[in-house]
Structure 1
């Protein structure tokens, strides 16, 4: 039996980090995906391969451990957590192919987790729906990271552009938002768990300063929601720029991220900001009519992806 699944990466437009504390956020699935294939083992071992990053390991699923065979660990903790939680520990072969740079702030762990869960459910013939899948994927991320927002896994499961309210109600935008964005990402990978903990510690040490910033980030997200519904791209860009300043205040920006942000603005982006956890990773730039100029400016020092939002969420099937 062969089970296959894929799930999209995401980018957060507004609300990273503040969403962890109950504030709203806006994020969208993008046209870059993670693909998982699970098949019966041929040698009574569970092997995980990620050829895109040159990684291979034998997995000891009962102990939640691995034996490194090749490459450097990246996304392996999420794979092990899924298998430890849901697998019956029979030997299987797992292959990850991904269009999403690991640690780039584009929700690679969520895309991999959602795809892995969907493929494993298919492999074991377990019935599931998107609601239960998004919930289970969030539980996996939370177990690995300690603290995790449900936003990444929700977007990877459902696809589309979504708004997560303060009371955790999910709204899907029906507005046409197929506008051009450029993502810049560094070779310095961010660590989501570490950055979330760092912000938590900063907040604990300076509650009277950081708490109002977190609240303001939530208010900004609500203004952005209205701007998106009106397709007011100039306002969206302005709010992206303000949001980047807030992310600076809570300490998640780096020299590399800010370099990309300002290179993008100087090349014509009407808005640019860090996206995701920070500490490395990615920025996103809104640049209608200036995609090539912005991409070229970022590519002088860093890496570039041209993206569009997509309505397609998780997809899975079984081959017998």
Structure 2
């Protein structure tokens, strides 16, 4: 287990070990969240690297990653715990077959930990030999508001109440990373329990560095042209602008095609890697894509 970083610069270095090139503002919030033992709430467009932050912290700190993927209808049974009802029924039948039953003892036995199925939130509160785990609560905006309200106890006191057993409280709070794509607003009561950061698209220089770190062997010219092209697309009126994840997918795809620079025809043929909606692809195929390639090359030439 790696010790928590002692400074903002150490946090930047920690992330860079896993090729996550963060800006200083993100590293500052992460450093504070780790030192203060507070959850961090990350919002931003899809594909900008919010989920990856939790994975990187898990890998670099040597902590177990526990992921709770949120969705509409998520409830306590799926997120926290449920009882193994089939095993409980078998235990009851076996006890009855053996003769007179001490019902109080039987009740105690069947509502013990051996019959408890632990889901991600409860798992994150349990002691771990490798240190408190990293708990990723991913895309909280997809869950219902009722589940969001339930999280308040977990995030405020790092504990969960199980009626049949009592309260389970973490001896050491997990490192909590909550993400949202902002398809709906998250309540202020939950945000107050977290440190907040908006994860934005990187600037061109940092995105080029990310591409070169994540796509080994990519041609220097190609990496720069890809990023300039993607950055130009983000200024267009698209239904869904490409995130960093799409930039990396496209860079990998063009490398597999042995490209060393952007070719208008190849750009048109591979837009499905970069864009995820047909209206956006149709709008850019052909002449618009060619114009964007020519414009970025002119801008790069003018910049020297």
- Structure in which a larger fraction of residues adopt strand: 1
Higher relative contact order (CA 8 A, sep 6+): 1
Larger radius of gyration: 2
TM-score when scaled to structure 2?
A: 0.26
TM-score when scaled to structure 1?
A: 0.25
- Structure in which a larger fraction of residues adopt helix: 2
